[in-house]
Amino acid sequence: MNLSPGAAEFVLALAGLCIGSFLNVCIHRLPLKQSVVHPGSRCPDCGYALRWYDNVPVLSYAALRGRCRSCARPISLQYPLVEIATAIIFVLHWYAFGPTIALPVRLLFACAMVVLFMIDLEHQILPDVITLPGIVTGVICSFFLPPGPLMSVLGVVAGGGLLWAIAEMWYRLRKVDAMGFGDVKMLAMVGAWLGLKMVLVTFVLSSMIGGVVGLVLIASRRADMATRVPFGTMLAVAALVASMYGEGLLAWYLSRLGA
Ligand SMILES: [Zn+2]
């Protein structure tokens, strides 16, 4: 394949914007248990049915200056932000995977992580409708791609088991639920897609991200030690990093240990 420089990045960025637009629909509707394909998008305030030209990623938001064409109430900044973030994530995947069969598979995984990130941030839930089929799909893909079926199944057991054990211990010590089982199923899904090694990397990274975010929130007095942090958001970020850069990070870390 002979692509002119930047062509692949351009195509992936465009695809990311369009798919990000669909992810917005999933983020909005899945917690409400609504269909993500029917009916078409409407203004949540006045019910105006969006025309195609109201639905162009980022551009429509900019052209309408962030307001509904019909009732002029503000449209959430979430919509263009998710579209732009998805586009960036798609291009980063191109740099990480190049023209391989792993590229579309890991892009699918990344889309699930974007949706889980946003839903956990807004509703503090991680819908089974994503995580459970996610576990199955991850294991199926592992028959054709790394990490392979054995590592994939071990990833499910380790990811799910690790969080389940922590939740159980925490419950016995403090008599409070540290996290919902949504987190357990989500880390099991990450294990299915990324395998045993990377699910452990994801867990360590997510704890580090969680620690930093927690300290910043406490320092800025937006939270105290008892604030419930949506752990799924940290897991989503950590899993994306592990998916793209985990092998490199781990090799670097192990080489530092050996030095
Ligand atoms: Zn409206």
DSSP letter at 225 equals T
pLDDT at 226 over 70: no
Stretch 92-117: mean pLDDT, rounded? 97
Q: Token match 């938001």: residue?
A: 61
pLDDT-based confidence at 230, cuts 50/70/90?
A: confident
**Residue 84 Cα to ligand 1 middle (Å):** 23
How many whole angstroms from 68 Cα to the centroid of ligand 1?
Answer: 5
Instruction: In whole angstroms, give the CA distance from residue 223 to residue 243.
Output: 30
Confidence of residue 166 (pLDDT cuts 50, 70, 90): confident
What is the band of 1 on the pLDDT scale with cuts at 50, 70, 90?
low
| Statement: residue 2 has pLDDT above 80 | no
> What is the Å distance from ligand 1's center to 155 Cα?
45
Local confidence band at 167 (pLDDT 50, 70, 90 cut-offs): confident
Look at residues 126, 246, 231 and name the one whose alpha carbon lies nearest to residue 189: 126
CB contact set of 116 (below 8 Å; sequence gap of 6+): 126, 130, 131, 186, 232, 235, 236
| Percent residues over pLDDT 90 in the chain | 77
In a 10 Å sphere around its CB, with 0-12 CB exposed, 13-18 middle and 19+ buried, how is residue 188 labelled?
buried
Q: Which residues lie closer than 8 Å to 246 by C-beta, 6 or more apart? A: 194, 197, 198, 201, 202
60 C-alpha to center of ligand 1: Å? 14
> How far, in Å, is the centroid of ligand 1 from the Cα of 76?
12
Q: Mind listing the pLDDT tens digit for each residue in 8-23?
A: 999 999 999 999 999 9
Give the chain's end-to-end CA distance (angstroms, integer). Answer: 41
Give the pLDDT of residue 168. 84
Residue 232 has pLDDT above 80, yes or no: yes
How remote is the CA of residue 233 from the centroid of ligand 1, in Å? 30
Centre of ligand 1 to C-alpha 242, Å, is: 40
Q: What is the CA radius of gyration of the chain?
A: 20
Ligand 1 mean position, distance from CA 77 (Å): 15
Q: How far is ligand 1, taken at its centre, from the CA of residue 195, in Å?
A: 45
Give the model's pLDDT for residue 175.
72
pLDDT digits (tens, 9 = 90+) for 5-60: 899 999 999 999 999 999 999 999 999 999 998 888 999 899 999 999 999 999 99
Q: What is the pLDDT of residue 172?
A: 84
Per-residue pLDDT, 180: 64
Q: Rounded to whole angstroms, what are the CA distances from 123 to 27, 98, 140, 240?
A: 10, 35, 30, 21
Cβ-based neighbours of 87, under 8 Å, separated by 6 or more: 12, 13, 14, 16, 17, 20
Q: If we measure between CA atoms, which residue out of 230, 236, 238, 239 comes closest to residue 125?
A: 230
